[in-house]
Structures are given as structure tokens and as C-alpha cells.
A and B are shown apart, each in its own frame.
Chain A
């Protein structure tokens, strides 16, 4: 009958997954609030955190851009080929998974 909630409906609504999700969600939220209140994990020498930053803020960012942080052994086109080949393989796999 319309308007009546059966026990089956209620059970379905309160599945284990959804109750666990609420509990986990609340726990994660509480932990995040605790971290923020106590200022945990910050680096006083960096003027940014998770929320306010940009690459330009990262110390020695130009050095990283200048290619000298790590000396790559192979020519650029080899990396490009590997990049494209792996991408093509993953594209085919995605289509297969979605069948």
C-alpha cells in the first residue's frame, strides 16, 4: 500500500553497506576536524597546504622545470612512445571491461 513502509523496505534502506558508510564517513570527518583544529602535518616553511598552493609556490620549482633535478637517460621520444603505447593498451582494456 502506498505510504506504508514495510520491514523489507526498511531493511533494504538500512543495509550494512550504508550504515558502515555513515560510520566511516563520520569517523573520517571527525579525524579531519581533529587534524585541522590541532594544526597537524603542516610545514611552517611552506606557505601553502592542501588547499592554497600552486606549482609556482613550490621551492625550486624553476629547477625542476629546468630539467636538472633528474637526468633522464633515454631520448624524449622514447618516453613519448612508451606513454602512448601504454595509453593505447589501457584504452582497449577499458572497452573490453565495459562490454
Chain B
């Protein structure tokens, strides 16, 4: 076997790409042909007894009823088998023993089931992402009884994250770039990199932070779309697990506030729905929160918010690509060292290529050929596998994290100030762009059907 083909089969980066592609292919075949049901386990919403009204009430299924269903256990077994087999083979190819990996994976998977169960609770899932609960569950174990030694072979954060990102590539439709014409491009694409550069400058020059992976991870989360962008940029820059934990925790907590307060402030300012929606789409981190906050301002605002956010989400892959390139050519090189094309290729995280290929196939092959309904159905299946990969990753981070390490990373509150100042800059710049493009003062106000 040649050296190159050996790398294709024995490095975590490439294995993540292959596993991601196999899952995407299986999802496509299952949905487009209807031959089999490939959907993974997903808890339906349940409550502790809260009063639920509106359309959401119809979707609440008591937890006991869910657990008593045979289909539930069958889906659970399918998810465990699909992911277990894929990751076990991957782990074996990177030198792990089956006998150690399989029981460890079952353990981490069961913890992930607990996380998904908690994050399906009606109130909890509306405010805090599963990533938050995964970190909490993992950290509770590691900081109390300690992570059992037998679980450690399956604590493989990067492997799960990279695989999840490749699967996520299929849902990031590059063709969305023109969805809102120059308006969307201006609000999403002009502002996003400027915010990243500002936060880079503020973090390195003003706060004098030397942890550059943390700065770029936080800048991506703030300017693009919260958790997903943090995961992608964090993996591309090689940030530490503590950095990712801190970034995501800060982003999630602030998203709760912004989701509720931003529409109230926008209403109080008397902004038009299309301007308010676009501002929400450009500044609220999480996509779900964007849709909810936009809906408070009405249908048109919700559409504008979702359109802007969808365009922003395209940027995840590009930003991760350039972050990886920047770190390979500038941050990780030694003084005076010249980095040639070969070295850049060696250092470049290959899962980003998998992400792009998946995105291009979805945008320019599957969407035109199969149509939007089928793309939605395929994404509905793949989304669950992506979520399972990320939950496995965040449980792994929690199992590997010490509270003291996180406290040490706070370094005088600098990461918090970086986020706050960056987010304020993001809001001001996005507002300026929204006014410029959508107020009618300079350009005609667009119509959203």
C-alpha cells in the first residue's frame, strides 16, 4: 500500500470524510428510493407538566409513551449500530482495538441518549442547545466520580466532530448565496468577515490574548451562527476542548437573551419588519433562535431573518477553510519558516474538503435533480446523524474537561469581553448595513412573497 493511500484509510481526517459520505449516501438512497427507513433516533418533545399551547402542544408526547414504543427502541438500535460500526471500524484503522472501543462506545452512546432525552424537554430545548447539556452531563461525571478508564477509548471528540461536519455540509446549500440578492449578500457576507477581523484585532492587540484558536473560534461563533461555526472553526484552528466549551457556553447563554430582547428593542425603535428581521438574522447566533425571534415581528420579518441566516450559514465552510489555511501558513509556522504547498496540504484539515464536496453535491446535483421537498426530507434524516455525532463529541469534551481548566482559561474575563465587544460591533455594523440596504433611503425596499 502506498503512503498516500495509507493516509486515506488510516488518518482520522480522511476516515471522518468517508464515514460522513457513507451516511450521506445511505440517507440519499433511503429517501429518494424509499427502500428502507434510515432515520435515526429522535426524542419527541416531552414536558415536566408545563402548560403548552398552540401548534407545539400537538407535538408533545409523554416520555413514558415514547419509551414504551417498539419503534423507539428499534431506531435507537439502528442509530447505535450505524454509528457504532462506522466509528469502530474507523477507530480500528487508526490503531484502536475493537474489544476496547466497542464497550466504550456503547457507554458514550448511552450518555448521549441521556443528553438527547434531557434536551427534548419542552422548556429546556427551547432555550439551551443539546451541546450545552452534553457538556454538563460529561463534566458532571468527569468532575465528580471521574471518567472511567474503560470509557476513554471512545472519548474521541475530534473524530465525531469532523464526521458531523462532513454530514452537515449536505445541509449547507451554496446555491443559497443569491437567495436575497445583493441585500442578503451585503448583510451576511460584507458584515461577517469584518466582524471576524475586528474581533481578531481586538483579541490580539487590545486584550493581548495569546490564544489565537480561542479568538477565531469565538469570532466565528459571534459572526456566523453560534455552535456550528464554533465547531467548524475550532476544528480548523485546532483549538483546545476548553476553548470550544467556553465559546459555546457563552454563545448559548447570550443567544437566550438576544432571542428575547432583540425583537422587543427592534419593535420599540419602530424599525420596519424587513429591517428588523434582517438585523435579527445577521446578529442572533443560533438559527432556531433567529426564526423564533423573527416570527415575533411577523411573517415578513421571519422570512428576512431566515434568508439572511441561511446565507450566513453558507459561510461556515469558507470560513473554516480560510481559518485552516491561515493557521497552517501563519499561526502554526515557526519564525522565518517558509511553508510550501506540500506542508500546507499536510497541515490542512481534510474534513473541510469533505464538507465542501457534500455542500456542492447537495447544492448543484441533488437540489436541481430531486427538488426542494426531497432535499428537505434527506436533511431531516441526515440532521439526526449530524446531531448524534456532535452530541457524542460534546459528551466526550465534557468527559475530558476539568472545571479548573475552564476557570484558568477565563484569564481575567478576557474571552467574555471579546464576545461582548465583538457582538456589540456585530450589531452596530449589521444595523448600519440593514439601514443602508433596506430602509429605502438608498436602495428600493425588496418584496418578500
Contact = CB atoms under 8 A, between A and B. Distances in A.
Interface of A: 15, 17-18, 20-22, 24-25, 28-29, 31-32, 35-36, 39-58, 60-70, 72-74, 76, 79-80, 82-83, 86-87, 90-91, 93-95, 97-98
Interface stretch (B76-84, B102-110, B407-415): B407-415
Tell me what chain A mostly uses at the interface: helix, strand, loop, or mixed: helix
Interface in B176-219: 177-185, 189-190, 193-194, 196-197, 200-201, 204
B87 interface: no
B190 A86 contact: yes
A50 B287 CA distance: 7
A79 B185 contact: yes
B350 interface: no
Contacts of B56: 44-47
Contacts of B235: none
B8 to A, nearest CB: 29
Interface of B: 45, 50, 52-57, 59, 119-120, 123-130, 132, 171, 173, 175, 177-185, 189-190, 193-194, 196-197, 200-201, 204, 252-257, 259-260, 263, 286-289, 291-293, 295-296, 303, 306-307, 310, 318, 322, 326, 330, 367, 372-373, 375-377, 379-380, 383, 410, 412-414, 416-417, 420, 446-449
A34 to B, nearest CB: 10
Contact of A51 (B127, B413, B420): B127
Contacts, number: 225
Nearest to A39: B123
A54 B413 contact: no
A53 B59 CA distance: 13
A63 B306 CA distance: 12
B179 A42 contact: no
